[in-house]
Chains A and B, each alone.
Chain A
Amino acid sequence: MKANTNTHIIVIGNGMVGYKFCEKLLARKKNDQEFTLTVFGEEPRVAYDRVHLSEYFAGKTADDLTMASVDWYAENGIRLFLSDPVVDIDREEKLVRSHHGHVVHYDYLVMVTGSGAFVPSIPGVEKDGVFVYRTIEDLELIQAYAKKAKRGAVLGGGLLGLEAAKALLDLGLEEAHVVEFASRLMPRQIDDAGSKILQSQLESLGLNIHLAKSTQEIVGGDFIKGMQFADNSFLDVDMLVISAGIRPRDELAKIAGLDTHPRGGIVVDNGLRTSDPYIFAIGECALAHHMIYGLIAPGYEMADVVAGALTGTEKEFLPYDMSTKLKLIGTDVASFGDPFVEEPACKTIRYENKAKGIYKRINVSPDGKELLGGILVGDAEQYNMLLQTCKNKTILPPDSEDLILGSRGGEDAGAGVMSLPDDALICSCEAVTKGMLCHEIGENGHATIDALKKCCKAGTGCGGCIPMVKDIIQGVMKQNGQYVRNVVCEHFDHSRQELLDLVKMNGLRTYGEVLNEFGHGDGCEVCKPVVASLLASLWNENVLTKDRAPIQDSNDRYLANIQKGGTYSVVPRIPGGEITPDKLIVIGQVAKKYGLYTKITGGQRIDLFGAHVNDLPLIWEELIDAGFESGHAYGKALRTVKSCVGSTWCRFGVQDSVSFAIEVEERYKGIRAPHKFKSAVSGCIRECAEAQSKDFGIIATEKGWNLYVCGNGGSKPQHAQLIASDVDKETCIKLIDRFLMFYIKTADPLTRTATWLNKMEGGISYLKAVVVDDLLGLAAEFENEMQSLINNYKCEWKEVVDNPELRKHYNHFVNVPDKDPTVAFEELRTQKRAREWA
């Protein structure tokens, strides 16, 4: 099919596959081809990631789930109508009419209307408190209703049902039940033995499972009160999510007189054409090879087939592999290939460990050479490997039981992937092969998941291939001799960045939870402060509450800097170095009263040394009364924003550097990071505030401000580098938000910004691309995250002073009120100093 003139294509449905079709069509479009694309979507939002819908409950926003923003459609010349379903198709005239009355002509029509939840006709399904689980709106309703509900059930024990049941538990319901009609869970994916193990695993998570239950009626008045079953039993619930399967949306096709299947689905041929050659159907609404493909990977493949057909590359849609791995349920379940073949068509190898909740089954061809399929419950670590072995028809080793029993993980985990052939399909959603990945990693330096997602889209679909992609990254790096495993310490096999992502995704807030979920052993002085720091960077809750006090590093533990001799120093915040005479007097009085040594610091504030731990709350009480706040001199956090006096007094000044410095310091005070960070603002090019030696520095220009990043004083001085010139204040702040968040999220522990940059592949130009040009598309996320940290700011010392529980820990002894009698000072220039180390 050649399209030399402008071809008008209408896409009906803006779901995952509908979006993917647009993307693939644009990618395949040749120079001499011209298309006008119009998209009609019924939902109020642009296409979003339905596969990860449940993450909406874990805190992802609709924006986070969006596949591509509305701007993307505009930029690519796509006309997009949302909340505007197509209601009629005139095939003779080749016109569609939408709900809002738009009538548009097409040359080709692509139907991607997806499916809806199948709701069985049980009496009472219309009651309040009965939901389906398909769209963001559904989840919003469920979330709101769950607030007042106690017991919830899910009708349907399949893939989606279990996911929904777990979501009910996570929403805080006291009881969550799964009601399944068949005699086992996930009847389409796993066998009886697998179901038994899965059931016990789910029960230990707190789910109640009811099998072989046929629901007769949903009982209640306006609101659901319970479920009546055919066996006369009754289940008391106040909300119900129906997940009994999907129902292809073929109603429009029927109106248009296209062939549909009696049990649902728009019938298509191997080229995905419907009974009208100008109309294609793809995704979950299409019935190809006599079946509905209710998974994302085949949907994407269909999108590719049709995009190909319309740009002149005919290919067929072949029967597609339906292997799946369940996500989010807290126990692994996977099935691949043909999970159910029985002898004599195969040899079946089973392994079962009831105590550990593990069941594995593989089906091997009778000659023992090929893997036909299998089931994994409780431990699906080998899923990706087995799937590849199965799909690529790799010749099996003589002892095929090693596939499921052999050494797990360990040394040669990476070697396994590297032995796959180059054309092995790793990301089936996006059809990315191992060879392509190796090329991107090795030749183009895209050696992170994010970078690979960006350059070849691997892992952006169902995400199931990500562990394997990680292994390939490691494999390639290892081959190139670049491999460094950056784990935190013996207790965590993750880098700080990985751990941060995990902690964030799982919403963990205490050290105990993090160690239980992702670590082993009892922790140590290395991982405790690392976790403390990332908890603070993620949630900005008081560092001393919950179980967090004993995991803080020496200084954070007492919110003061421990000094020689065991006393502490006290540093109130003096934003921008500006201070009133009255406040200066208070500092003097406090220092006198508690016998403290005073010194002006390098950051334009005043340090008070020699405070006994017992005196710290008393000292702070007085400082806080006078309007001071914690200066976080003890934390891996913002220290000071130095300023020169700028245009308010200096005859050279071109901007008011003091006001800006105060604004910046007030904004980022208390933000925890992998290491301390400092800033400065100078009022003109003479740079009296030494901004270029700071983690981020700002220098006034005639037209605005120049922003420099990653400078350092310290033992290895390094000049900061310019990333933006002549920007206004708002832009400058935005860029700093992004810069800091990127640093916070990706730096190794105790790495200053300068070192972080020095280790960064692509160096300053990459950093600039991320921060200024939004290369990773994360700018908005960074800004939001920073804003939420800022919103959570509270002066830690004020909280301690006001909280008797926290104050209690400021005693040297737990059994007597005495101060540490061994503390001793020496005289120095009429003040005192710590006694020299013995």
Chain B
Amino acid sequence: MEPTTNTKDRIVWHLACSVEDIPEDGGGCALIEGKQIAIFNFARRGEWYATDNECPHRQQMAIGRGMIGSQGEEPKVACPFHKKTFSLKNGQCLNDDDYKINTFPILIKENQVYIGL
């Protein structure tokens, strides 16, 4: 994957890890371009998600260690510190309107996980 010039509307895919590095129905954290990205393997739904690893509540680097699950149909992750939960789809905090995390495009190809920044 050749990194190309980063224009605003262009996704650059970065190799993060291989599929086995992220436990099924769990998460992990990868260091990409100096940024901590939380990656989730939502095996139960056959979906993958990527978000900030930092929780906006108390700036803890912990989202990747959080438990994932669903609220209604919405896939979500809970910060292990104070259990703020965030939508994995759009990053909105589901139990406190004041917070939001960034989400990133994610791609699985030939058993490798790529994150778009």
**A residues touching B (Cβ–Cβ < 8 Å)?**
490-491, 511-512, 515, 521-525, 527-529, 547, 549-551, 553-554, 557-558, 562, 565-566, 809, 812-816, 818, 820, 822-823, 837-838
Contacts and interface: CB of A to CB of B under 8 A. Distances in A.
Interface in B48-105: 54, 58-62, 65-72, 75-76, 78, 80-81, 83, 85
A814 B16 contact: yes
Given A557-B80, A566-B60, A838-B58, A525 B67 contact: yes
A818 B80 CA distance: 21
B66 A525 contact: yes
B49 to A, nearest CB: 12
Contacts of B30: 813-815
Given A512-B25, A550-B27, A809-B23, 10 more contacts: A521-B72, A522-B69, A524-B67, A524-B85, A525-B83, A550-B25, A814-B16, A815-B16, A815-B30, A823-B61
A525 B66 CA distance: 8
B110 to A, nearest CB: 16
Contacts of B81: 554, 562
The DSSP consensus for interface residues of chain A is loop
Given A525-B66, A838-B58, A816 B31 contact: yes
A566 B63 CA distance: 11
B10 interface: no
Given A524-B71, A525-B83, A837-B58, A549 B26 contact: yes
B8 interface: no
B31 A815 contact: yes
B22 interface: yes
Interface in B10-45: 16-17, 21-32, 36, 39, 42, 44-45
A562 B26 contact: no
A371 B67 CA distance: 51
Range class of the B interface residue count: 35 or more
Nearest to A525: B78
A553, A557, A813 pick with most chain B CB within 10 angstroms? A813
Q: Which 5 A-B pairs have the closest CB atoms?
A: A550-B26, A524-B69, A554-B80, A525-B78, A522-B70
A822 B22 CA distance: 22
Contacts of A551: 25, 67
Contacts of A522: 42, 44-45, 68-70, 75
The DSSP consensus for interface residues of chain B is strand
Contacts of B66: 525, 554
10 contacts: A528-B67, A529-B67, A550-B23, A550-B25, A550-B27, A562-B62, A562-B65, A814-B21, A815-B30, A837-B59
Given A551-B67, A557-B65, A562 B29 contact: no
B68 A818 contact: no
Contacts of B62: 562, 566
A554 B64 CA distance: 11
Nearest to A524: B69
Nearest to A511: B25
A547, A554, A818 pick with most chain B CB within 10 angstroms? A554
Contacts of A838: 58-59
B16 A547 contact: no
Given A525-B78, A554-B81, A837-B58, A490 B26 contact: no
A523 B70 contact: yes
Given A522-B42, A815-B31, A837-B58, A562 B80 contact: yes
Nearest to B70: A522
Contacts of B23: 549-550, 809
Contacts of A822: 36, 54, 61
Given A550-B23, A554-B81, A512 B28 contact: no
Contact of A818 (B16, B26, B31, B59): B31
B60 A815 contact: no
Contacts of B69: 491, 521-525, 527-528
A115 B27 CA distance: 58
B67 to A, nearest CB: 4
Contacts of B78: 524-525
B85 A813 contact: no
Contact of B68 (A550, A557, A566, A814): A550
A512 B44 contact: yes
B80 A820 contact: no
A520 to B, nearest CB: 10
